[in-house]
Amino acid sequence: MALPHVLGVDLGGTNIRVAVLDANGSIGHASRTKTLSEQGPDAVIDRIADLIAAVAAEAGIGADIPVGIASPGPLNPRTGVVHYTPNLPGWRDVPVVSKLEQLTGRKVALANDGNCAALGELRFGSARGCKNLVYLALGTGIGGGVVTEGVLIDGKNGLGAEIGHTLVSIDGPRCTCGSIGCLEAYASGWAIQAEAMKVATTADGDRLRELATDGHIHAGVVATAAAEGHQASIAILERAGRALGASIGSFINMFDPEMIVIGGGVATLGEALMGPARKMIPQYSFVDMRRDVPVVYSSLGGDTGLYGAGALAFMTFD
Ligand SMILES: [Zn+2]
């Protein structure tokens, strides 16, 4: 029998979020609690289990309804172990799935937030109805997911499809992953901010310093300045956009997707970033694949983690 609904858990950010989602992507009962990661993995997992129990009781759903979890990684979805994650300091090889299955008595599936978001876009979002998708989460870092003929492409240990760390230039800037010249080192929130900080120390940076009322020159400040016609800011976003477009061209060559979906906070910079990207895509993709690949924005917004977790549960258990 088809599952009428599932429980989605979003472990990104500073809150644990739990919601009931139905097969059409309607979010029903939902709740959140502070993660309080400083209390250690066991306390956090207890709090996740308590929140699942509370939301399930409130929604009146049975013990047979499964749970999907979207978490930052690296993690292994095959074993259900979170290796470590920047927003949960102190976590090392935590067996989240087995612990939660014991505590809740429910079936539990785990995947990284980028892969979950790709599934969420396919089932509930901008790529609804597609079977072949490349999803990019442009945030502080860059995550994503790749789906081919309905199957998530993530490798032997589920660690693959780190498309934010696609090589753009072997002589490029240092990346957080330890490599050089990754897409993330050009087009992520931190990379745009790093370029802006360099400009801010020069005479060209006057406007950036004025706009950063709290002294924090983030990507949004660059976008505001670019919209005013500030040339140095336009150049920063063009550089990021060109790297993004070149990478998307590569993704089209590699995966022959029906659609590219762009999500995450940096995607809200819009066409100041995506305009230069769109110009580059045809130059970097094969002539017979470059036509008609729509590059669209995510429609899931701030609930991407919950939608992704729900989509994971439906895909795994339905
Ligand atoms: Zn990297």
Whether 113 is a known active-site residue: answer yes
Of the candidates 46, 64, 93, 113, the residue annotated as catalytic is 113
What percent of the chain is modeled with pLDDT above 70? 100
What is the reported pLDDT for 290? 72
Topology, domain 5-119+303-317: Nucleotidyltransferase; domain 5 (3.30.420)
Buried b (16+ CB within 10 A) or exposed e, 116-133: bbbbbbbbbbbbeebebb
What is the reported pLDDT for 171? 96
Q: Where are the domains of the chain?
A: 5-119+303-317, 128-298
Residue 260 identity: I
Cα–ligand 1 centroid distance for 166 (angstroms)? 7
Cα–ligand 1 centroid distance for 174 (angstroms)? 8
The pLDDT tens digits for 82-95 are: 999 888 888 999 99
Cα–ligand 1 centroid distance for 183 (angstroms)? 7
The pLDDT tens digits for 124-171 are: 999 999 999 999 999 999 999 999 999 999 999 999 999 999 999 999
What's the average model confidence in pLDDT over 118-125?
97
Higher pLDDT, 292 or 221: 221
Higher pLDDT, 278 or 88: 278
What is the reported pLDDT for 256? 94
Topology, domain 128-298: Nucleotidyltransferase; domain 5 (3.30.420)
What's the average model confidence in pLDDT over 57-73?
95
Task: Answer yes or no: are the C-beta atoms of 234 and 272 closer than 8 Å.
Answer: yes
- Nearby residues of 121 by Cβ (< 8 Å), 6 or more positions away: 127, 128, 133, 135, 261, 263, 298, 299, 300
What mean pLDDT, rounded, does the chain reach?
Answer: 95
User: Fold identical between 5-119+303-317 and 128-298?
Assistant: yes
The helix, strand and coil proportions of the chain, stated in percent and rounded to the nearest 5, come to 45, 20, 35
The pLDDT tens digits for 167-198 are: 999 999 999 999 999 999 999 999 999 999 99
Cα–ligand 1 centroid distance for 142 (angstroms)? 9
Cα–ligand 1 centroid distance for 176 (angstroms)? 6
What is the reported pLDDT for 1? 64
